[in-house]
Amino acid sequence: MSFFKPLKNQRGALVLIVLVIFAVGAPVLYTTGRYMEHRREDIVNVENKIISGEEISEEEFERAHSAIPDVANLAQASGAVLNSVSNIGVPDPGTAISVAADVAIGEMVSRNTSPPPTTSNPIPADIPAQTPVCDGTHLSNCTSRTTCDSAGGYWHSNNTCRPDPEQRCNEDDLSGCVTQASCSGAGGHWYDDQCNQSPEACYSGSPELCANENDCTNANAYWYNSQCNSDALAVSITSPAGGSQVAENQVTVTGSYQLYAQGITVSSAGFVVNGVFQPATISGQTFSSIAVLATGQNQISARVTTSAGDTYNSAPITITSNAVQNRYHVRITWDKDDTDVDLHFTWNGSDCYYGNKTPTWGSAETSPRLDVDDTNGFGPENITIESLPGPGTYKIWVRYYSDHGKGGTNVNAAVYENGVSIFSSSNYMEHHNEWTLWEFIL
């Protein structure tokens, strides 16, 4: 009977009950303690890494996240026990439970019933971890990009799921730069109260500064090959190189063009030599012609005209001719009998033709001569000059004077310099048609 005397008061009864619970359930209590110790360490590990700035793996983040509800549940259960003890009316119930737990666990350790808790002990397999809910109202519980996307959230670069998209500020995404300083730091250009990839000059006369297709289009320019172009077509001289020197009074010039806009077609191309246009033969997007040069410096630019009538010019180049004297011979033939085709060679308005076969252009060497006026078909007609008379405008052309009722004819023309062909072409002509072979200014 003396053994039950302590039970006569409620305090003694409670202490004994708690001791019995801990003695009987010590293995379970200890196993749960080990599990909670591991869960607490998961949280502390991530917390320490955040403080030190270390990188947190997705696995570490997920373990710490899932540990939070476990710790919260334990705290709630502990509070329930304390409330029950308090309701019995025992003074300082927290002290009673703490002392009883210490005695039970201390006795268990002293008897080696289980090893002391350490961080190297694995989490018991029979105690399942609670998986937190990942949905639209609990995005912080989503621990991967996949689960975050499924819950309708946005996965951020710090491995967290947020309700709003991440606002970044870098050269690849300037939309997150909200100040002039941050915009400049990311390589952007601040105007119109926002950060822009292209400088403001892109829209004010310098479309080549536009950094992307959208800005280029908004600047009324043309985006091609990652560059913004002010014109729908670009033309250039590919040979000879600017600054070249030649020994003759002629040089073969080659140009090319590039279309930047849709729906454009080219109707003609050629070269402006010393202010006079000389047509060229187009092949694909290249064209070439022989340019007649004056002795000394000559300026040449390429010109392309579209079917809409728009004209585009290249930057000019300068070619120097060191020629001293060159003999020129022009020849025409045609393919229809009993027809009259006439050859003309003019200098500053003075014409060498059937009506003036030997005009005087200075000396005998600088004056041209027509060998024959063929009026009954086929030709040839030839004009020869030993040396050009000097500065001025030159033009070599053909006129179908009379078909004598026989219809059109194909005319062939050739120009020779010092016996070498420098120009040849053919053209179908009708009665009274004119055809300019060459026009140049010295």
| Residue 26: inside a domain | yes
Confidence check: pLDDT of 210 > 60: yes
Number of folded domains that form the chain: 3
The answer, yes or no, to whether residue 65 has pLDDT greater than 80, is no
- Name the H helices within 186-272: 213-218
Confidence check: pLDDT of 190 > 50: yes
For residue 317, tell me if it sits in a domain: yes
Question: 155 has which bridge partners?
Answer: 161
> Are 270 and 354 within one domain?
no
Does 248 lie in the same domain as 291?
yes
Q: Which residue has 């997150």 as its token pair?
A: 176
Same domain, 94 and 9: yes
Per the structure, the complete domain to which residue 242 belongs is given by: 233-321
CA distances, 376 to each of 54, 341, 380, 411 (Å): 101, 9, 11, 14
Is 206 among the domain residues?
Answer: no
Please report the pLDDT score of residue 46 as a whole number: 66
373 and 282 share one domain: no
In this structure, is residue 190 part of a structural domain? no
Strand partners, 412: 333, 426
Query: Do 280 and 367 fall within a single domain?
Result: no
Note the pLDDT of residue 280.
86
Give tens-digit pLDDT for 311-369.
Answer: 999 999 999 988 776 788 999 999 999 999 999 999 999 999 999 999 999 999 999 99
Do residue 334 and residue 436 come from a single domain? yes
List, for residues 113-142, the tens digit of each pLDDT value. Answer: 444 444 444 444 444 556 789 998 899 999
The CATH number of the domain holding residue 290 is 2.60.40.10
Q: Is residue 369 part of a domain?
A: yes
In this structure, is residue 72 part of a structural domain?
yes
> Are residues 334 and 313 part of one domain?
no
Domain end marker among 321, 345, 371 = 321
**pLDDT value of position 129:** 55
SS3 call for 229: strand
Torsional sign, CA 79, 81, 87, 90: negative
Structural domain ending residue among the three candidates 273, 291, 321: 321
Same domain, 407 and 346: yes
Question: What is the residue-averaged pLDDT of the chain?
Answer: 78
Indicate whether 249 and 350 sit together in one domain: no
Is 380 part of a structural domain of the chain?
A: yes
Tell me whether residue 192 is in a domain.
no
Asked if residue 289 and residue 339 are part of one domain, the reply reads no
Regarding whether 333 and 308 lie in a shared domain, the answer is no
Across 118-205, where does the E strand assignment appear? 154-155, 161-162, 189-191, 194-196
CA distance 250 to 345: 17
Pick from 286, 321, 356: which residue ends a domain? Answer: 321
Q: Is the pTM of this model over 0.85?
A: no
